[in-house]
């Protein structure tokens, strides 16, 4: 093989290796960046969902709903739990809803479901507290309280499933 041809082949092989190395490095760095972003987002959701579940449990909301249901059933008189929501308890979700797709496993499905149901519960509580439901018949009011109790129980279950999924997918270090 003549020297000019060997030099051309060397240049082509060197160029190929340089391009391939650059592409592999770029791919690896991007993949690592996405992995870190996904993990950090999952851990942020874990913190917020943990706080929400603990808040529900510590404040004994389910027991309070049971008491209200029992009170309405025994007295056959309407009762409207006052509730004023002054703070946003879904800041991580609100600020990152567009990034849900970077999460792995079932999290892109489970997390929006959790927060949508939470919003529904808060809306019902607001409607109870501000009088929007004051014209409802007693049986319908009881159904709303029972549904709220059932949905909150389901929310705690779903929240715990999400926390387990986060731990499964993003194994704690």
- 164 in a structural domain: yes
pLDDT digits (tens, 9 = 90+) for 4-58: 776 777 766 766 666 766 766 665 667 787 878 999 999 999 999 999 999 999 9
Integer Cα distance of 35 and 30 in angstroms = 9
- 30 in a structural domain: no
| Sequence-separated contacts (24+) of 71-76 with Cβ below 8 Å | 72/138, 72/141, 72/142, 72/145, 73/142, 76/138
pLDDT of 127 over the 80 cut? yes
- 17 in a structural domain: no
Instruction: Give the per-residue pLDDT at 90.
Output: 87
Q: How many domains are there within the chain?
A: 1
- 5 in a structural domain: no
Token pair belonging to 135: 């014209």
C-alpha distances out from residue 165 to 19, 96, 112, 120, 149, Å: 39, 18, 14, 23, 24
- 129 in a structural domain: yes
- 15 in a structural domain: no
Of 44, 30, 38, the closest CA to residue 99 belongs to: 38
Parent domain of 113: 40-169
- 14 in a structural domain: no
Integer Cα distance of 40 and 99 in angstroms = 12
pLDDT of 77 over the 80 cut? yes
Task: State the chain's mean pLDDT as an integer.
Answer: 87
The pTM for the full model equals 0.80
């Amino acid at each position: 093989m003549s020297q000019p041809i060997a030099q051309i082949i060397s240049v082509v092989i060197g160029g190929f290796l340089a391009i391939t190395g650059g592409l592999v490095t770029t791919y690896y760095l991007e993949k690592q960046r996405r992995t870190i972003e996904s993990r950090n987002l999952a851990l942020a959701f874990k913190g917020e969902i943990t706080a929400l579940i603990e808040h529900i449990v510590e404040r004994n909301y389910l027991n309070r709903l049971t008491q209200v249901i029992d009170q309405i059933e025994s007295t056959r008189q309407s009762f409207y739990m006052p509730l004023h929501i002054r703070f946003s308890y879904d800041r991580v979700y609100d600020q990152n809803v567009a990034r849900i797709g970077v999460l792995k496993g079932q999290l892109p499905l489970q997390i929006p479901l959790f927060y949508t149901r939470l919003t529904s519960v808060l809306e019902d509580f607001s409607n109870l507290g501000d009088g929007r439901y004051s014209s409802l018949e007693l049986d319908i009011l009881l159904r709303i309280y029972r549904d709220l109790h059932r949905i909150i129980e389901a929310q705690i279950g779903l929240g715990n499933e999400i926390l387990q999924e986060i731990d499964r997918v993003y194994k704690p270090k």
